[in-house]
Structure 1
Amino acid sequence: MTQLARLLHLVDSAIPTGSFAYSYGLESSITFGLVKTPFGLRNYLYSFLQQAVSMEFPFINSCYKLALPDLNTELATIATEYDAMMLVPTLHRASVAQGKNWLKLLESFYPEAGLDVVNQWFVQEQIPLHFVLGFALCLKRMGFSLPDVQTMYLHMALRDQISAAIRLGFMGPMEGHKLQHDFYSIFENLMASHAETEYFQASRSAFLLDAAQVFHEDVYSKLFQN
C-alpha cells in the first residue's frame, strides 16, 4: 500500500516535472480546427493514447528487461532508437527537459536509490536522457512493478491532455473529468495490446498528431509551449 502511495505521489500533477507546460499538439489541433467537437476530442484522445502505447510502451518494457540498465550496452541502442523517433523538435526538447527534471526530482526524494548512475551513464554516452527512458529506468531501480508503471504512464498521458483541454476552455472541469473517467474503461485493452512489445517494435500510429505538433509553432497566441 505504501509503495502504491509513493507511485501515486510521483505521478501527481503537482510534481514539478514540467509536463503541464505542454499540450502535445492539442492546442494547435483545436486552433486549426482538427478538433472541433466533444466527439472529435474523444477520437483525438483515443488516437493519442494508441500512439502512447505503440510508441512509448515498447521502450518502457525494454528498459525494464535490462538486467543492469546503468551499465548494459543494450541501453545505448534503446536510447539512440528512442531519440531518433522523436521527430518533432519541440517535443524532443520537451522530452529532454522533462527527463532532467524527473531525475533531479527523484534523486532528491530517494537518495538511497543511487539514481545518479543513470544520469552519469547518459552523460558518459552523450545520449539525451528522454523522459520516457528516465521514467522507466528510475522506477525500475526503485522497485516498482512494470504493470503499475505502464498504468501510471497511460494515466499521466490522459490526464495531461484532459487538463490541457480544460485550460484551453474547450470543456468544463466536470465534463473533462467525466471524460477522463470514461476513458479508463479502455485502458486494459490498450495496455494488453503492447504489454510485451519491445523497442524494436515501437511505431508512431497517429501522424496527424505529429503534424499538429509541428504546426504549434504557427499558433499566434499560445497557452502552452508545444
Structure 2
Amino acid sequence: MECEGEPNEDNAESSTAGPLQLWSQWQLLDSILPTGGFAHSFGLEAAMQSRLVVSSEDLKTYIIHTLENTGSLLLPFVYSATISPNTQSWHNLDKTLNATLTNEIARKASIAQGSALMRVAASVFTEIPCLKTMRAAALSGGVYFHHAPVFGLVCGLLGFDAETTQRAYMFITMRDVISAATRLNLVGPLGAAVLQHNVGPIAESLSIKWMNRGVEEACQTCPLLDTIQGCHGYLFSRLFCS
C-alpha cells in the first residue's frame, strides 16, 4: 500500500474487513503488543490517591468520563489520520495534538505510547514497508509521535475502515483503565471483566456520539480528569508513569 495516497474514503465507507485484516485488528487490540499502554493509568492512580475514586461506582463513573474525554478530544485525530494516512497529514495532526494537550503528564504519556506503537508497527507489519520509511524519516526530528494520530495512521495504512478504528481506540482506552484499576486493587479480575462488559454499551454510545469529527471539533468534556492527571507527577509513591 502506498503511503502518500488520497484520503482513504473507501476505508471510511467499508463495514467489513478481509480475513487478514481481522488478524491485524486483533493483534493491535491484544494486550501482548508491546506499546506500553499498561504503564499508564490515565490519571486513575492520582484520582485514587486524591480520593476522587473510592468506591466501585466512583470507578465506573471515572471510566465513563475518561471515555468521554477520549472520544471528544482524541477520536477526531484518530479519524483524520485514518481517512488520510499519509506523511503530511500525520505530521500536521501530530503537531496540532501536541499543542492541544493541556498537561505535561498526558503529553508525555501520549508520546511514549505513540513512539512505541510506531516502532512496533514498523517491525511487525512488514507488508506495509512505508511504515518503516515514515518512522525513520520522522526520527530525524520535528515529529512528536503522539499516540492517537499514530494509531489512526497505522490502521489507515492497514486498510481498516474509520469506524472500526475509532471503536478500537475507545476499546483499548477502556481496557487499559480497567487493567490499571485491577492492579491498584480497586477491583478484582472477575469484577473487572464484569465492569468492562457493563461499560461496553456506554462506550459504544460515546463512540457514536463523537465519531467522524474533524480536529477542529476536538475538545475537553471533563476538565477535572485532566487536572487530576496533571497531579500524577506530585504523588509521593506511584505504580504508573501517568
Deviation of 1:65 after TM superposition, in Å, equals 2.9
Mapping for residues 179-194 of structure 1, pairs under 5 Å: 179-194=195-210
Match of 1:2 in 2: 20
Q: Note the residue ranges of structure 2 that are not aligned, 5 or more in a row.
A: 1-18
Confirm whether residue 35 of structure 1 aligns to residue 53 of structure 2: yes
- Contact 2:67–2:174 (Cα < 8 Å) also in 1: yes
Aligned counterpart for 2:86 among listed residues 55, 60, 69? 69
Deviation of 1:124 after TM superposition, in Å, equals 5.7
Confirm whether residue 88 of structure 1 aligns to residue 103 of structure 2: yes
Paired with 1:106 and 1:77, the residues of 2 have a C-alpha distance of 20
Match of 2:16 in 1: none
Deviation of 1:143 after TM superposition, in Å, equals 1.2
Q: Note the residue ranges of structure 1 that are not aligned, 5 or more in a row.
A: none
Mapping for residues 35-54 of structure 1, pairs under 5 Å: 35-54=53-72
Paired with 1:51 and 1:117, the residues of 2 have a C-alpha distance of 32
Deviation of 1:121 after TM superposition, in Å, equals 5.2
Confirm whether residue 225 of structure 1 aligns to residue 206 of structure 2: no
Aligned counterpart for 1:161 among listed residues 170, 177, 180? 177
Deviation of 1:120 after TM superposition, in Å, equals 4.4
| Letter matched to residue 237 of structure 2 | S
- Contact 1:76–1:125 (Cα < 8 Å) also in 2: no
- Contact 2:128–2:158 (Cα < 8 Å) also in 1: yes
| Letter matched to residue 167 of structure 2 | T
SS of 1:111's equivalent in the other structure is coil
Q: 1:42-86 CA distances to partner (integer Å, 9 max, x unpaired)?
A: 1111110001110111111111232x612x3x5443222111112
Q: 1:12 to 1:128 in 2, by over 3 A?
A: same
SS of 1:112's equivalent in the other structure is coil
Deviation of 1:95 after TM superposition, in Å, equals 1.4
- Displaced runs of 4+ in structure 1, greater than 6 A? none
Paired with 2:164 and 2:211, the residues of 1 have a C-alpha distance of 11
Q: Matched residues, percent identical?
A: 29
SS of 2:31's equivalent in the other structure is coil
Paired with 2:118 and 2:143, the residues of 1 have a C-alpha distance of 15
- How many residues are paired up? 223
Deviation of 1:116 after TM superposition, in Å, equals 2.2
Aligned counterpart for 1:172 among listed residues 188, 209, 229? 188
| Letter matched to residue 134 of structure 2 | V
Comparing 97-106 and 124-133, the one that deviates more = 124-133
Comparing 10-19 and 77-86, the one that deviates more = 77-86
| Letter matched to residue 92 of structure 1 | R
Confirm whether residue 22 of structure 1 aligns to residue 40 of structure 2: yes
Confirm whether residue 101 of structure 1 aligns to residue 120 of structure 2: no
TM-score of the two chains, using structure 2 as the length reference: 0.86
Q: 1:15-50 CA distances to partner (integer Å, 9 max, x unpaired)?
A: 111110111100010111011111111111111000
Paired with 1:200 and 1:123, the residues of 2 have a C-alpha distance of 27
| Letter matched to residue 50 of structure 2 | F
Q: What is the root-mean-square deviation in Å for CA atoms of aligned residues?
A: 1.6
Deviation of 1:180 after TM superposition, in Å, equals 0.3
Confirm whether residue 144 of structure 1 aligns to residue 149 of structure 2: no
Q: 1:94-140 CA distances to partner (integer Å, 9 max, x unpaired)?
A: 21121121111111112230202332453466131111111111111
